[in-house]
Amino acid sequence: MSQPQTLGSKDTVVQLFQHFAEELDDQNDRRERLIKSSRDVTNLSKKVIFLLHRIMTEETDEDDHTLALRAATSGRQKLKDIQKILGSMQVELRGNLFWQNQKNISPGLQEYIEALSFAHYLEHGTLISFQEVQETLSDNGAPFFPLPMSDYLLGLSDLTGELMRYAISAIPRKGGRMKADEVCSFVRRCKADFAGLTPFVKGLAKKQSVTNQSLQKIEDAAYAIAVRTSEFDLPPDILDDIVARCVSG
């Protein structure tokens, strides 16, 4: 009978924990929704990257710059769809919620930045800036959510792998031999720029070593071209023409 009612009487405890239970369930459900959206973003971004490669290897009469612009335009179209998904996530990421869930959306965000920066490179030949990325993730100047510097840099770092693929497959194309040299210098600069940032961003050092490998692959390819060309005392574009005439008549 004289049950010590004063101590945190069970009902009070239940009431208190009822509140926690709801909060934890909410958090988990939100986490699940964000993970799913992030997977969608990853998949669509990968498709954009394939699309860009596909256009850049088309056999066509367009000059290289026109082709690149066409690729960037097509890519931009698809990137809009991804931006829509990222925009729709903003309600789940307001205020404190963003940093609570950042790890769950990181993979998608990085893959998006990789795709976006690839399109940007094709169009402008430069690295997309932090502000430019943040602008694509905004609605009339209001950001969907803060862009973490680490995701920006890690996404960019993946770009060098795609550039390596781009350079290698450009080589057998007319003018591609010059393209390889261009990409080689660009990736060499990326490597240098990122080198100073590795101590600040977790995971960047590992990606930097992939960048290194990619760079060496491009260098080897550029070397192979130089060696072949060296035997003939003619400028590369004349050599290209001779080969083209020989092969396709």
Type of residue found at 41: V
The one of a second copy, another protein, Mn ion, none whose footprint includes residue 40, by CB under 5 to 8 A per kind, is a second copy
Q: Contact 127/117 with Cβ under 8 angstroms?
A: yes
Task: Considering only the stretches 35-43, 88-96, 154-162, 165-173, report the one whose residues sit in contact with Mn ion under the rule CB under 5 A.
Answer: 154-162
Q: Which of residues 43 and 185 has its CB atom nearest to a second copy in the complex?
A: 43
The SS3 call for residue 143 is: strand
The one of Mn ion, a second copy, another protein, none whose footprint includes residue 39, by CB under 5 to 8 A per kind, is a second copy
In the bound complex, what is the minimum distance in angstroms from residue 10's beta carbon to a second copy? Answer: 8
Site membership for a second copy, residue 248 (CB under 8 A):
yes
Of positions 30, 40, 165, 178, contacts a second copy by CB under 8 A:
40
In the bound complex, what is the minimum distance in angstroms from residue 31's beta carbon to another protein? Answer: 9
Between CA 146 and CA 149 the distance in angstroms is: 9
Between CA 3 and CA 100 the distance in angstroms is: 42
Structure tokens at 158: 């993946």
- Candidates 41, 49, 154; CA nearest to 108 is 41
Site membership for a second copy, residue 36 (CB under 8 A):
yes
Between CA 68 and CA 138 the distance in angstroms is: 25
**Vertex 75, ends 168 and 138: CA angle to 5°?**
125
Q: What are phi and psi of 224, to 5 degrees?
A: -60, -40
In the bound complex, what is the minimum distance in angstroms from residue 51's beta carbon to a second copy? Answer: 11
Site membership for a second copy, residue 2 (CB under 8 A):
yes
Site membership for a second copy, residue 7 (CB under 8 A):
no
The one of a second copy, another protein, Mn ion, none whose footprint includes residue 192, by CB under 5 to 8 A per kind, is another protein
The one of another protein, a second copy, Mn ion, none whose footprint includes residue 149, by CB under 5 to 8 A per kind, is another protein
Between CA 66 and CA 74 the distance in angstroms is: 12
Question: Which residues are at the interface with Mn ion (CB under 5 A)?
Answer: 158, 161
